[in-house]
Amino acid sequence: MMTPRSGRPFSLSGHGYEAEIAAVGATLRMLRHDHRNLVVPFDADEVRPAYRGATLAPWPNRVVDGRYRFADVYHQLPLTEPERGHALHGLLAWSAYADRIVEKDRVVLVATIEPQTGYPFRIEVEVEYRLDADGLTQTVTARNTGADAAPWGTGPHPYLVGGEGRVDDWTLSLPASEVLTVTEDRLIPTGLEAVDRHPEWDFRMPRQIVDVFIDHAFTALARENGRAEVRVTGADGSGVAMSWDESCPWVQIHTADNPALPDAHRAGLAVEPMTCPPDAFNSGTDLVILAPGDEYTATWRISAI
């Protein structure tokens, strides 16, 4: 059989959940609970729409101008966001992962970032998806198998579905007290500010999103038992929650505005827990430094409400 365009498929099921994982980008292609979509899906034999559901490594979001300095050496990454002139969402989003473990309710995939221009480091990336009664948990583990220390960051890119309708119709709960402001044209970070100064992005008290545009990273997250949680719900109170541990002090929220593609326009809310903010390769904020032989693990979970 021909391999689907999204890569070798892996099907998980259990506890009322069904998940489809695609090998290209270790991508969450579909997640349902009791036949209700929790993320915006796409077809197995479809080229993945942009970064929908992909695992982002070795950085989430952007490296401004694709240029950064690490260990007193300047590096230039390929510009994979040409319209803004940045390096976007890491190096593995279009790479096929190999399977290490395949079970009914669990799959472990692995890929290696080989030393290359702009990122001359070797990192093994292991991605586990596991279903249980609490939902779908994804765990990403980076292992530095090279000879030099390496900068590292990761995060997922699912578009959550709160219920019937589109983003405008859903209620968002986002327990973040600070937002990273960006320039309007190139989304370059400009400063960290309290959401009190930007009430349009203050969702600490749940409220309907309506026509608010969001494409920002948030931090200063309120946590319960060490976990932060974003909730997106429809008019009937059902919906989806995404939670994560302290390995991710940041979350990117995006309302998926794309009027040129009516089917995708505001069809899901991107919720992306991140180990570091946009352009961390330059700012150094919460950037993980992996020494040779070190590993770093981050985890998050999507659950039905």
Phi, psi of 65 (to 5 degrees): 60, 5
Give the mean pLDDT of 54-68.
Answer: 98
| Residue 304, SS3 per DSSP | strand
Q: What is the pLDDT of residues 137-196, one digit of tens each?
A: 999 999 999 999 999 999 999 999 999 999 999 999 999 999 999 999 999 999 999 999
Residues sharing a CB contact under 8 Å with residue 269, sequence separation 6 or more, in sequence order: 159, 160, 162, 167, 170, 172, 209, 232, 253, 254, 255, 256
Output the pLDDT for position 285. Answer: 98
Output the pLDDT for position 135. Answer: 98
Residues sharing a CB contact under 8 Å with residue 86, sequence separation 6 or more, in sequence order: 62, 63, 64, 65, 66, 79, 80, 186, 187
Residue pair 169/235 in contact by the 8 Å Cβ criterion = yes
Tell me the pLDDT band of 238, cut-offs 50, 70 and 90: very high
Better-predicted residue by pLDDT, 263 or 74: 74
Whether 1 shows a pLDDT value over 90: the answer reads no
Give the mean pLDDT of 3-17.
Answer: 97
- Sheet with strand 17-22: strands edge to edge: 9-14, 17-22, 27-33, 36-37
Q: Which of 89, 5, 105 is nearest to 54 (CA)?
A: 89
Output the pLDDT for position 260. Answer: 87
Tell me the pLDDT band of 228, cut-offs 50, 70 and 90: very high
Tell me the pLDDT band of 213, cut-offs 50, 70 and 90: very high
Residue 208 gets which letter from DSSP? E
Residue pair 100/107 in contact by the 8 Å Cβ criterion = no
Tokens 């030099």 belong to 148
